[in-house]
Structure 1
Amino acid sequence: MSEWTCAGPSTEPAYDPSDPQSGRALVNYHLRELGIGETHLVRAGEHGLRYCRTLVPEGIGVCRAYVLTEAAWPEGAELCVTVSWSPTAELCRNHTTGAIPTGAVEHWRQRIAATAQALRSVGFVVEPSHVRYSPVYHSDADLVVYRMPEGVPARRAPAAADWALTEPVPPNHQRRSWTYPERSPEDIVIQALRDAGLHAYHYEDPLPSGRVGARSITQTVWPPEADRCTWLTWWPHPTFVRDPGTGLLPDGAAQHWRDSLERIREVLTGAGLTLRTRARPWHPDTDEEVHYLAYRVPRG
């Protein structure tokens, strides 16, 4: 049987702005090289079998990068991901009893700060999170990690007083779900769309305006003024989807995109929500779907 070898790239992988996974791969490479990420090993066995194993750092927890929709990127960023840090197993919250090991809170504080410092040392911008990540509330902590074009300064991180919320939102260890009369961000958005006839109850029933879905997104990337925020995705009606064989768009696709997206924006802004998306326009020539952050600003 052969020796274990690293399955990851041995040199910094190229970043392709058109491929979201390449940004994730780049940051994961640096996490591994910094000694705070996962190392994936492989070796060949008999009869064509291939064995895999994953190593994580000892005693400091482990970091993993995840793709983040461009709708949530800081303005001007050329690359952005979230990095999730998980504590070392010995200092994890006991999910049966809820007990927090001695030293866990300090472990979180030190390692989140050390993770941010390590990523800054290789050229990334890491914003301090306003969310009070702690084993009292969470199983892991998220950081926004991004890179600006050369010579372009990073945005100013919002001040503590800029944030509409000071407590972690559900689900967390203290609040498993939103409780009546509160409503989750996803419920608020989907109900507004459903009332306007823009959201079907079943995936199999596409509406003339296309399909819309809402899912939760880490509070770390919520706009500071928001008290509710969700990740909204729109897909065109199947009639106007690109032909997989020829790569051509059906007639009327561009108009379908314009009409449907304008109607969605009209309905949600009318319901008191704000939509935020990437600076680069969405278009059927280059995109298969459209992403927004849909959020609510509390009334003063």
Structure 2
Amino acid sequence: MIHLPGGTMNPPPYDRTAPSRSGCALVNWHLEQLHLGGLYLDFTKVPRSIPEGLGWCRARPLPEELWPARAELAVIVHFHPDPLFRRNPKTQAVPAGAVQHWTQRLDACATALATRGFVIEEWGVPMTPELHSGADLIAYRLPPGIAPAPRSPADLLYAHPPRPNFRSEGSKTALWKLHSVLSRAEPPLWRDNQAADTATGTGRCLVYAVDENLWPPGTTDCHLVTWEPDPPYRRNPNRPLKHQGAYAHWAQGIAHLTRTLVDADYVIRRRERPSNPDLDNSITFLVYDEIPPGTTPAPGAYGGRPATRPRWAPARP
């Protein structure tokens, strides 16, 4: 294990126009300073900053469409448990003490990051040692004076039990339904095996399933729908966009997509940062259903880990 290269006592600058790269760099810097991260697998003999047996954490991008309202930064913090407490991939055996190890180390990470001004949450049914190789926390930062939205156990009720390495049948059905809605639009917004250079007059859509443990509180069957303009209206990174009808094409295509989804009773939202044809190649929407009030989670073995963590109250500096 070695430290991340270029370690410094000063945090890297956060660039709101490049939140994935700069946000992860900032959170990884804090993790390294807190002795919770900053490790790579390596065969060198450089001393490690995290004691053996504790595991480590590393930030990775969270799509902006999933960010909580008013957040100015948000990332996924993935917890890598110590090898001693990982499920055996051949026998599926879970080592003794794995649940306690995961719970204690996730709590330690959440508590430490909260002291740096981050709000820490865990979305969906928790990832567990029985089914997963690690666990994800959501770390985000709000502007001064803005409090995080209150959370209750009902916010995190989940429609499906967690699954190891494959998606539930319910999620596959939801993806098929969304494809069907987009393909029946007039003109169609999605076609199976549609070529990227095909012009439709209103652009085309790509649909991506969101990992179930990243579904925001109160939502179910989440997907990211990315709208791309027709080839003549696409931005070329090597020269400014000169097509006179680009803005009108974007407005028409986005309006068509929005009407199609809303008419099908989907809830949609987009990132708060503005998008336009001069800077972006596409625009993405989070498309989901809301969990009806009173819904109870499906039965499943959750490994003894709690589904909510109210003790992870954010500590604002």
Task: Give runs of aligned pairs for residues 72-91 of structure 1, distance below 5 A.
Answer: 72-91=66-85
Counterpart of 1:25? 25
Give the corresponding residue for 1:46: none
- Give the whole-Å Cα distance in 1 for the aligned partners of 2:86 and 2:41: 25
Q: Confirm or deny that 1:260 pairs with 2:253.
A: yes
Say yes or no: does 1:213 pair with 2:210: no
Partner of 2:235: 242
Q: Deviations over 1:140-191 (max 9, x none)?
A: 11111011122322222x2112344265444x26xx3323x76354333222
Amino acid at match of 1:8: G
- 1:12 aligned partner: 11
SS of aligned partner of 2:179: helix
**Which residue, 198, 201, 213 being the options, matches 2:192?**
201
Q: Which has the higher contact order (CA 8 A, sep 6+)?
A: 2
| Equivalent pair of 1:200/1:207 in contact (CA under 8 Å) | no
Query: Which has the higher mean CA deviation after the structures are superposed, 13-22 or 231-240?
Result: 231-240
Deviation of the 1:282 alpha carbon: 2.5
SS in structure 2 of the partner of residue 183 of structure 1: helix
- What is the DSSP-based 3-state SS (H/G/I as helix, E as strand, rest coil) of the residue aligned with 2:250? helix
Work out the CA distance in 2 between the residues paired with 1:7 and 1:200. 45
Do the aligned partners of 1:185 and 1:295 also contact (CA within 8 Å) in 2? Answer: no
Quote the residue 2:276 is aligned against. 283
**Distance in 2 separating the partners of 1:7 and 1:299:** 47
1:54 Cα deviation after fit: 11
Quick one: percent identity of the two aligned structures? 34
Alignment partners' CA distance in 2, 1:229 and 1:53: 42
The Cα of 1:6 is off from its aligned counterpart by: 5.1
Deviation readout 1:166-224 (Å, 9 max, x if unpaired): 65444x26xx3323x76354333222212322113225243423232222323344233
Letter in 2 for 1:245: N
* Aligned counterparts, 1:125-204, within 5 A: 125-156=119-150, 158-165=151-158, 167-170=160-163, 172=164, 176-179=166-169, 183-196=172-185, 197-202=188-193, 204=195
Q: 2:87 aligns with which of 87, 90, 93?
A: 93
For 1:67, give the aligned amino acid.
P
Q: Secondary structure at the match of 1:227?
A: strand
How many residue pairs get aligned? The number is 284
Normalised to the residue count of structure 1, the TM-score between the two structures is 0.84
Partner of 2:223: 230
Match of 2:106 in 1: 112
The answer to whether the Cα contact below 8 Å between 1:227 and 1:297 also exists between their aligned partners in 2 is yes
Instruction: Give the deviation of 1:31 after TM superposition.
Output: 1.1
Q: Distance in 1 between matches of 2:49 and 2:74?
A: 23
CA-to-partner distance for each residue in 1:267-290, whole Å, 9 max, x for gaps? 122222111212344222332221
3-state DSSP class of the match of 2:130?
A: coil
Tell me the distance in 2 between the aligned counterparts of 1:153 and 1:133: 27
Q: Which segment drifts farther, 28-37 or 289-298?
A: 289-298
By how many angstroms is 1:248 displaced? Answer: 2.5
Per-residue deviation, residues 93-113 of structure 1 (Å, max 9, x unmatched): 111111111000111111111
CA distance in 1, matches of 2:102, 2:160: 17
Letter aligned with residue 13 of structure 1: P
Structure 2 CA distance for partners of 1:246 and 1:286, relative to 1, 3 Å = closer
Deviation, structure 1 residue 299: 6.1
Distance 2:46 2:252 in 1: 49
